[in-house]
Amino acid sequence: PLDMRKMSEPYSNDKISCLAVYPVSYYTPLHIAVLRNKPHMVQMLVGHGAKIDKRDRVHESSPLDLASEEADRLSCLCMLLDLGADVNAKDKNGKTALLHALACSDGLTVNNTENIQLLLERGTLLHI
């Protein structure tokens, strides 16, 4: 089985000691399920009490923010919304999931238009 505690410990070798913050140490299992695009794992974790709107310790991103950013995470985005994630929650910079989705375009092409459409359909406010 996967030992999350062991994965989050800094590693060292003969020459260096790495004290950087590893994603596994600041993301919750729900964040990781979203990043790996596992909607059934998202459903199971929330069903077992994972806090759906919990923000990570470094960026203060929610699982919904992460799901909104990539087109291939549409199934996780849909699952989180179906399970009651707050579509209008803001991160520490005041960005909602919609702004996270829009920020992931390259300025010319928006690759996650379905994510943006879903967020709008689910009640994202445009003026908050």
Instruction: Provide the pLDDT for residue 58.
Output: 81
In the chain, count H helices and then E strands: 8, 0
**What SS3 class is residue 44?**
helix
Q: Is residue 95 part of a domain?
A: yes
- Rounded to the nearest 10 degrees, what angle do helices 74-82 and 113-121 cross at? 10
Share of the chain above pLDDT 90, in %: 62
Q: How many CB atoms lie within 10 A of CB 125?
A: 10
Number of domains in the chain: 1
Domain at 100, CATH number:
1.25.40.20
Q: How confident is the model at residue 90 (pLDDT cuts 50, 70, 90)?
A: very high
Q: Which domain holds residue 83?
A: 17-121
Residues 6+ apart with CB under 8 A from 124: 87, 88, 96, 97, 98
What would the pLDDT profile of 24-65 be if each residue is shown by its tens digit? 678 899 999 999 999 999 999 999 999 999 998 888 899 999
